[in-house]
Amino acid sequence: MKPLSLRFMIISAALAALILLGGSLWLLSGLSPAAQSAAAPKEAKSPAAVSQTKAVQPVLPESKPLPVSEALSQRVTEYHIDVQLDADARALQATETVTWIHPGQKPVQELYFHLYPNAFTSEKTTFMKESGGELRGDTMPENGYGSMTITDLRTTEGVSLMQRMQYVQPDDGNINDKTLVKVHLPQPVNGGESVTLKIQFEVKLPKIFARMGTAGNFVMAGQWFPKLSVYEPKGTRGVQEEGWDLHQYHGTSEFYSDFGIYNVTISVPANYIVGATGFPVKSAQIKQDRKIYQFYADDVHDFAWAASPDFVVAEEAFSAPNVPGVRIKLYLDPLHKDLQERYFQATKAALTAFSKWYGPYPYSTLSIVVPPKEGNGAGGMEYPTLITAFGAAESSPGMSLERTVIHEIGHQYFYGMVANNEFEEAWLDESFTSYAEDRLMEQEYGVSSSAALQASMVTVPQQLNLETWKYSAADGYTRNVYIRGKLVLKDIEQQVGTKTMDAILLAYARKYRFKHPSTADFQKIVEKVTKQSWQDYFDQYVYSGGAPDFSVDRITTGSGKNSADGVEARYEATVEVSNKGSGYANVPVKFTFTDGYTVQQFWNGEQKTTAFQLSYKAPLASVDIDPGHSILLESKHLNNFMLAELAPKTLSRWTLSVTKLLETLLGTLVW
């Protein structure tokens, strides 16, 4: 790692000056970030506040104003949160002031909030029932339950809404699931208007096994605050009727939120260090035995933070083409304190490549948190401007260190800026990020993956735009959303060429930057760039679980015969092949003869079966369909090959037995 340069110090000074200048402008104007917008929405007022006696309510701290930046997104939400960590009790005490700007047209009288920590209240919640208390190999620790409780909820006029809350379970009707709550408002909110609520809440942090919680003195606060659901105007992701997109927290689901502004004050014990989404407004302040941090982020759709007294912190400033300037921050477990250079190198490689391929990185910070070994359940996760690496299980990890960092930084683009609905179309972030990860790992480190082996793991192909909890099992979700979807993208690239695929992905990322795209939106970009219809392809391989399944069905050979004029003998052969799966064109078929000569022909794939007639001076030895495994979407390769010299009955039994054996073995692999 190079020492800090003069350029580094100049960039640092410039960033500090910008923050101070922004604060000064705010003070001179007397306006908040929301008020600086060109057309400030009118807040919906509650008539109940006029007729009712104003209730006495707890004091809710008001966050300090912050610099205003040019909006990159619609900024539907604005959160001001003050939270205090009680490390001994594994608890958070917090207040939240949240403003929602109605992005649609129809009057709305209910708001919906995700209360994600309630997924861990008991074994009866939807998340726990579906996951079995396990996620990505980590299991729920003993007595590791957690929860979220809203202790006060009011309008800005002081009207209590506590009796207007109702837990809802739109996906499975599980009455024991309290991860989604409806709040009935005193008065409807019309399109373009805003409504502000004040919330007090408590979180009993679970012991980490699934993204959030505590492990010793390490804290991962992900999905830790009451978060508004997404209200989709007509046309968003192709919806025909505007309305709320409502889902519980499932065993395989991740998240979906609107872009907005976050101003978060975090109070921790004095010896703790905090890393968070966004950037610190000022240096942490010590007050009595507490350390107070204040972070700000805009044009993001989530806010996460991590805390520990053991973090080893390192920072570097970095800029590159399409990366105007970003401060990279590492929060390392002590076991990885000597691996700073590897983390920085992987981060810089990812920012440089992804910003070139998918558009500039627009934020001023990027934080990487390395959990301790026992907090691995929080590792390998993405949040806006903050990612977590895998837990520090060893002091000299393999390339999984770089691969994880690169993958999670890829999510800053697909999910972070191109913000798809992870409940319903998870492949739009996981498959796209996995595709980008593979490409960069090969480019930067020379590490390539075996597409054929990965394809063989997709034993039950299913449609890609499927709600995550509807896949056949947890491994069905993983193998389709992470592997099969990535192979679909690689297959498209193979058909159109790398240059055209780059143009497709860049056009998609540009058009839907800071928006909520759908699979159909991506299809339109593919068709626009290639100037042809891809409907049949998407119908087979995206909107359904299509996969080709090529088979050498029969080889019939004849004895060599000398011709009358003395020309050497010719051996005749008929080879019957079929595709027992989805249609696919330009299928290579390789024929090998006993003298070592090979010839490759292409099957157009228009019919389910075809036959090849061969004549050569030596007998046919074998037939191999797609010998180079160039057709990435086929998962069953073993019936692609057949030896000619075996008797048909023996050949069929041998092929079937070996196929079943190897497919069983491959089916036990974990991605």
Q: What's the CATH number where 284 sits?
A: 2.60.40.1730
Which of 272, 293, 383, 482 is flagged as catalytic? 482
Domain final residue pick, 272, 307, 342: 307
613 shares a domain with 580: yes
Nearest to 494 by CA among 359, 588, 598: 588
Query: In the annotation, is 408 catalytic?
Result: yes
Instruction: Check the annotation: does 114 bind a ligand.
Output: no
Q: Are 669 and 457 in contact (CB under 8 A)?
A: yes
Residues 6+ apart with CB under 8 A from 271: 291, 309
Asked if residue 538 lies in contact with residue 523, where contact means CB atoms within 8 angstroms, the answer is yes
Rounded to 5 degrees, φ, ψ at 79 are: -115, 130
Q: pLDDT value at position 565?
A: 61
| 444 found inside a domain | no
Could you tell me the residue range of the domain that residue 190 belongs to?
68-307
Residues 6+ apart with CB under 8 A from 475: 670
- 301 annotated as belonging to a binding site for a ligand: no
Residues 149 and 175 in one domain: yes
User: CB-based burial of residue 477 (10 Å sphere; 0-12 exposed, 13-18 middle, 19+ buried)?
Assistant: buried
- Distance between CA 522 and CA 484 in Å, rounded? 17
Residue 68: pLDDT band (50, 70, 90) is low
Same-domain pairing of 620 and 524: no
Whole-number average pLDDT of the chain = 88
Residue indicated by tokens 């039994």: 653
Give the CA distances from residue 138 to residues 127, 377, 391, in Å, rounded to whole numbers and listed in that order.
14, 6, 11
**pLDDT bucket at 566, cuts 50 / 70 / 90:** low
Q: Do the beta carbons of residue 301 and residue 323 sit within 8 Å?
A: no
Report the Cα 218 to chain-centroid distance in Å: 24
Taking CA atoms, 459 is separated from 434, 539, 632, in Å, by: 19, 19, 14
Per the structure, the count of domains in the chain is 3
In a domain, 141, yes or no: yes
CA gap 323, 559 in Å, rounded: 68
| b/e code 169-199 from CB counts within 10 Å (16+ = b) | bebeebeebbbbbbbebbbebeeebbbbbbb
End-of-domain residue from the set 307, 337, 371: 307
Q: Does residue 107 sit in the same domain as residue 131? A: yes
pLDDT at residue 451 in the model: 87
- Identify the pLDDT of residue 126: 98
Q: Among 408, 422, 425, 493, which one carries the catalytic annotation? A: 408
- The pLDDT of residue 279: 97
Torsion, Cα of 223, 80, 108, 51 (10° steps): 130
CA distance 162 to 158: 12
* pLDDT tens figures, 398-430: 999 999 999 999 999 999 999 999 999 999 999
Higher pLDDT, 280 or 452: 280
- Provide the pLDDT confidence category of residue 561 given band limits of 50, 70 and 90: low
* Cα separation, 264 vs 84, whole angstroms: 11
> pLDDT-derived band of residue 50, with 50, 70 and 90 as boundaries?
very low
For this structure, is 482 an active site residue?
yes
